[in-house]
Amino acid sequence: MGKLKIKLLPDGTIEMETKGIKGKKCLDYAKVLEQLADAKTEKISKTDEYYQNSYLELDESQHLSDN
């Protein structure tokens, strides 16, 4: 499965990057990190992995609704 790369900066901020987690599911890990660190998400940047998989999911739902 995927990996999380968590960077704890000396100014107290936290950065996280997901690896190998496709689509919207990667956003779930923002919540996981919030729970782990008692922190609040300030900003999310979507990577290629998010868009790539997002397109496929959209395609699938489109297909289902068509039927």
Closest separation between CB of residue 67 and other proteins, Å?
Answer: 34
What residue has token string 């950065």? 15
Work out whether 9 is an interface residue with other proteins (CB under 8 A): yes
Among 11, 48, 59, 66, binds other proteins (CB under 8 A): 11
Distance CA(34)–CA(13), nearest Å, equals 12
Q: How far apart are the first and last CA of the chain?
A: 32
Query: Quick one: which segment of 29-37, 43-51, 54-62 binds other proteins (CB under 8 A)?
Result: 29-37
Work out whether 43 is an interface residue with other proteins (CB under 8 A): no
CA atoms within 13 A on the CB side of 56: 8
* Residues lying near other proteins in the complex (CB under 8 A): 1-14, 21, 32, 35-39
